[in-house]
Amino acid sequence: MTKTAFVTGVTGQDGSYLAELLLKKGYAVYGMIRRLSSPNTRNIAHIMDQIHLIDGDMTDQSSLITALMESKPDEIYNLAAQSFVGTSFRQPVLTADVNGLGVVRLLDAARSTVPDAKVYQASTSELFGKATEIPQSETTPFHPRSPYGVAKVFAYWACVNYRESYGMYVSNGILFNHESPRRGMEFVTRRITNGVARIHHKLAKHITLGNLDAKRDWGYAPEYVDAMWRMMQQKGPGDLVIATGETYSVRDFLRLAFAEVGIEDYEAYVKVDEKLLRPADVHTLCGNPAKAEKSLGWKAKTKVPELVKIMVEADLERVKEERHHR
């Protein structure tokens, strides 16, 4: 029988890859989109005719109830969020509303309309923040370092609570950073690969960044949405770390990205602007995906050097096209 999935955040990086994956697996896919003054459907333009778009917003309880009543999903993937940590310092209340309370709204809407549906929550390595151990696993204590991280900790525990209180199937995927050519332009990997492409095509002279010493465990988004789906096929719910197990600094990422266009002295093309430093930052993230590898049979294949190549090539092509059409 055809399964039905309901995906919030379908227009985002992960939502669009997940919708593609679910369609390939034969699901009927309902994607929730919010009303915007100009359409923001670039990531799903190629599959728009195959998914059911349903309007709703994480800040509006009634829209979530209506959307679930109309779609009647077997699986709910909650990927919607104000996902940029930097913005969360400037918009802490909105971030808490969407990323924290929004999750309770969705859980409660599911409890009252489709209590047997499985729920996936997009948790994050930002829960670990000022991490007390390296690598971080499912048992590492949480110490969030931003309004974004604080809201996601609240959401994580809300999911555990709905599981324990009402016996619902609710799982937290604690995903470490994952990137792709669909990554938003404000995130550091995309700022770098877009910057390298613009420099290569002589549209820019340098890239301006903040903390170059931060280290992240960066993986490839299409592989991470596969891990989400696998988590939802487990017999019972649970919380899992999804990561590559390797960590690289922003400087490493810069060096590899510039090397893709034959530039070795990358430092000559990088400026640091103190305004891009965060009030509190997360210094080092490195995940231990052993539990997920064992229970899901999932393993990250694309590591940073290949990821950089994929992203630089895509941005080189896009910038070339844009230049051509100027």
Query: Do 23 and 47 contact (CB within 8 A), yes or no?
Result: yes
Residue ranges in 108-127 that form contacts with ligand NAP under rule CB under 6 A: 122, 124
Size of the site for ligand NAP (CB under 6 A): 25
Min separation Cβ 122 and ligand G4F, Å: 8
User: With respect to ligand NAP, which residue has the nearer C-beta, 152 or 200?
Assistant: 152
Among 76, 188, 228, 319, binds ligand G4F (CB under 6 A): 188
Task: Specify whether the CB–CB gap between 224 and 217 falls below 8 A.
Answer: no
Q: Does 198 bind ligand G4F (CB under 6 A)?
A: no
Catalytic positions: 124, 126, 148
Binding segment for ligand G4F (CB under 6 A), chosen from 31-39, 123-131, 220-228, 293-301, is 123-131
79 three-state secondary structure: coil
Residue 82 Cβ vs ligand NAP, minimum distance, rounded to whole Å: 6
Give yes or no for a cis peptide into 135 (omega within 30° of 0). Answer: yes
Q: Which of 70, 187, 204, 261 binds ligand G4F (CB under 6 A)?
A: 187
The item of ligand G4F, ligand NAP, none sharing an interface with residue 13, based on CB under 5 to 8 Å by kind, is ligand NAP
Peptide bond into 73 cis (omega under 30): no
In the chain, which residue ranges form alpha helices assigned H by DSSP?
13-24, 61-71, 85-90, 92-95, 102-113, 147-166, 188-200, 221-232, 250-259, 290-296, 304-324
DSSP reduced 3-state for 322:
helix
Do the Cβ atoms of 230 and 298 come closer than 8 Å?
A: yes
Q: CB under 6 A: which stretch of 73-81, 133-141, 243-251, 252-260 binds ligand NAP?
A: 73-81
Binder of residue 14, out of ligand NAP, ligand G4F, none (CB less than 5 to 8 A by kind): ligand NAP
Assign 19 to helix, strand or coil: helix
DSSP labels, 89-106: HH-HHHHIIIIIIHHHHH
Among 12, 129, 195, 245, binds ligand NAP (CB under 6 A): 12
Residues in 182-221 at the binding interface with ligand NAP, rule: CB under 6 A: 184
Mode of pairing for the β-strands spanning 215-216 and 248-249: antiparallel
Which range in 20-28, 74-82, 110-118, 252-260 contacts ligand NAP by CB under 6 A?
A: 74-82
Point out which residues bind ligand G4F (CB under 6 A).
83, 85-86, 124-126, 176-177, 186-188, 191, 209-211, 214, 216, 250, 276, 278, 281-282, 285
